[in-house]
Amino acid sequence: MDEPRTDYLMLIGGEWTDGQEEPFSLVSPVDGQPWAVLPSASQADVAAAVAAARKAFDTGGWPRTPPARRARLLRRLGELISERADDLARLQVRENGKVLREVLAQTKGLTDYCNYFAGLAETAGGHTIPSSAPDMFVYTVREPVGVVAAVTPWNSPLALLMWKLCPALAMGNTMVVKPSEVTPASTLVLGEMIEAAGFPPGVVNIVTGDGRVGAWLTADDRIDKIAFTGSTHVGRQIAAAAAAHLTRISLELGGKSPNIVFADADLDRAVEGVVAGIFAAAGQTCLAGSRVLIAQEIYEDFAARLVQRAARIRLGHPLDPDTEMGPLSCRAQYDKVQHYVTVALDEGATLLTGGRHPSGAQFRDGLFMEPTVFGKVRNDMRIAQEEVFGPVVCLIPFTDEDEAIAIGNASIYGLAAGVWTRDIARAHRVCARLRAGTVWINTYRRTSYAVPFGGVRQSGLGRENGAAAVEEYTEVKSVWIDSGSGIADPFNPRA
C-alpha cells in the first residue's frame, strides 16, 4: 500500500500554505484505505484568506481589470482544465467514488462554463433608462458584489464550484473557497490551474477543513456574498450566519424530487429516465428523482419493470468502464442511507429489491450498496419526505392528474420534477402547477451552463448558470446625470 500523499496545500494570497490545525485524512470509498492527508485551516488561516481576497478586491485592481482580460483568463483556465480533464476526473473518483465516465463528462464540460461566462464578462452590462424628468440622463451599471465565500459539497466538487467561480470571476469578484472535507484535493488542484491561468494572487483563495472552517468563513463580516451548495440543514445555519451582517446569499440545497409517470407515457423511455434519475451517481445528486409517482393503472407493471432494471445495474469499481454504479462517497453517508432502509421498513414500506451491501470480495471493503426500490410508499412516510441522498427510490401510486400534482408538491423541497407523458397539453398543465425550479418533460437530470438552475421552497435561494447567474454576482448601481444648465429648486426635486 502506498503512503498517503501529504503535499496538498491551501492557497492564501498567492502562497501555498499548510493549515495551523491538525491535518485530516481522505479515505477511499472503494477500499477504505487512507490515501491523502490534507491541511486543516485554523480561524486565523480563514481570516488571512478573507484578508487576501479583500485586498485583491479593494486595492488589487481585480474589479477594475478590463472585462476582455478577465474573459481571456477564464478561457485560459478552460483550456488548462481541458488539457488535464482526465487527471482531474480520476482525482475526483478517488475522492468520492463516482463512476469515471460520468465524472469525465462533467470535467470535460467545465471548459464550456469558462467560455460561456467569459462571453458574459464582455457583454453583461447595465441599461440606459428613458427618464421623464427633463435633462436627466439615467443609466445603470453592474458592479461586482465584492468578496464571495463559496462553500461546496462532495458529490460534484468541481462542477458545483465552477457554477460559482465562473460568474464570480467574470464579473470582477474575488473569492475564498471552502470545499467539502471529503473532496478538497480536486479543488486544490484546480487552484493550481487558476494560478497557472494567470489570475492575480488573492483573487481566488482556498481553505480546507470541515464545517467549522465553513462556519468561520461565512460568519466573517468582510464577506459580501455567500454562495453555498449543500444540505438544507447546513443551508439554514448559513442563512442564520448571513443574517447577522445581512450578507447576500445564494443557496443550492437538498431535494426530494417527484418523477411522475402517467399511463400514456412511453414506458420504455420512462423506465430508463427513472433509473437515471435515482441510480446515476448512486443517487447522490441533489436533483435525484427519489419519489417516483406512478399512475395507478400501470403501477404493478411499471414497478415490475423498474425492479428488474434496477436489479440489473452493474455495481463495480468506479474506474471500470463497465460499472454503472460505484460506492457511496463516505462512511457517514453510507451509514445514513442504511439507516433510512431501516426507517422505511419500520414505517411499513415494501422492499422490492436491494437494501443491502452487495456480496462479493470486490465489494467487501468499499461503501457499496445495492440499488434499492421501496413499493407502495405513502407520501407522508419519512422515506418519502426526507432526503436520503443514496440509491433508494420510493414508488407512490396516484389516481389522477390532480392527485399526482398534490403529492408532487407535498414536500418541503422544490428543486426539480420529471413528467412522463405523450400528451403535450397535460405536460404543460402539470409543469405549470409543479412547485420546482426545474421541470423535465420526457427526460431527466439535464443541466447546462446556459440554463438557470436552483430551487424553490427549502431547496434554495437564487439561481446558478445562465445569464441569471450574473445577477447573483453583481450589484446594480443607478446613475443620474443632470445635463441641464438651470439651477434646481432644492425643495422641488421634480422641477
Q: Which residues bind ligand NAD (CB under 6 A)?
A: 151-155, 160, 178, 180-181, 210-211, 214-215, 218, 229-231, 234, 237-238, 252-255, 286, 387, 389, 415, 455, 460
CA angle, corner 280, sides to 277 and 283, nearest 5?
75
Nearest distance from residue 460's CB to ligand NAD, in Å? 6
394 is catalytic: no
Residue number, 265 or 282, with CB nearest to ligand NAD: 282
Nearest distance from residue 393's CB to ligand NAD, in Å? 15
Residue number, 97 or 214, with CB nearest to ligand NAD: 214
Residue number, 208 or 474, with CB nearest to ligand NAD: 208
178 forms bridges with which residues in the sheet?
151
Q: Which residues contact 436 (CB under 8 A, 6 or more apart)?
A: 257, 414, 415, 416, 417, 455, 456
Nearest distance from residue 68's CB to ligand NAD, in Å? 31
> Cell triple for residue 444?
431527466
21 is catalytic: no
3-state helix, strand, coil in the chain (%, to 5): 40, 20, 35
Nearest distance from residue 233's CB to ligand NAD, in Å? 6
CA distances from 344 to 260, 283, 305, 341, 411 (A): 21, 17, 21, 5, 17
Nearest distance from residue 296's CB to ligand NAD, in Å? 30
Q: Which of 244, 255, 253, 191 is nearest to 215 (CA)?
A: 244
Residue labelled with grid coordinates 401510486: 397
What gap in Å lies between CA 49 and CA 208, rounded to an integer? 11
Q: Concatenated DSSP letters for 172-206? A: T-EEEEE--TTSHHHHHHHHHHHHHHTPPTTSEEE
DSSP secondary structure code for residue 468 in this structure: H
Nearest distance from residue 336's CB to ligand NAD, in Å? 9
Q: Which residues contact 376 (CB under 8 A, 6 or more apart)?
A: 349, 350, 395, 397
> Cell triple for residue 318?
468506479
What gap in Å lies between CA 361 and CA 428, rounded to an integer? 49
**What one-letter code names the amino acid at 182?**
V
Q: Which residue is nearest to ligand NAD (CB)?
A: 214
> Cell triple for residue 29?
470509498
Residue number, 159 or 344, with CB nearest to ligand NAD: 159
Nearest distance from residue 364's CB to ligand NAD, in Å? 25
Contact between residue 256 and residue 413 where contact means Cβ atoms under 8 Å apart: yes
Residue number, 415 or 430, with CB nearest to ligand NAD: 415
Nearest distance from residue 425's CB to ligand NAD, in Å? 30
Residue number, 226 or 275, with CB nearest to ligand NAD: 226
DSSP secondary structure code for residue 222 in this structure: T
What gap in Å lies between CA 288 and CA 278, rounded to an integer? 5
Q: Which of 47, 159, 145, 164 is nearest to 111 (CA)?
A: 159
H or E stretch at 113: helix 100-123
> Which of 286, 324, 387, 472 is an active site residue?
286
Residue number, 179 or 397, with CB nearest to ligand NAD: 179
Residue labelled with grid coordinates 423506465: 271
Residue number, 299 or 444, with CB nearest to ligand NAD: 444
Nearest distance from residue 132's CB to ligand NAD, in Å? 42
Residue number, 187 or 353, with CB nearest to ligand NAD: 187
How far, in whole angstroms, is CA 373 from its chain's centroid?
A: 25
What gap in Å lies between CA 418 and CA 409, rounded to an integer? 12
> Which of 95, 252, 324, 464 is an active site residue?
252
The residues carrying an active-site annotation are 252, 286
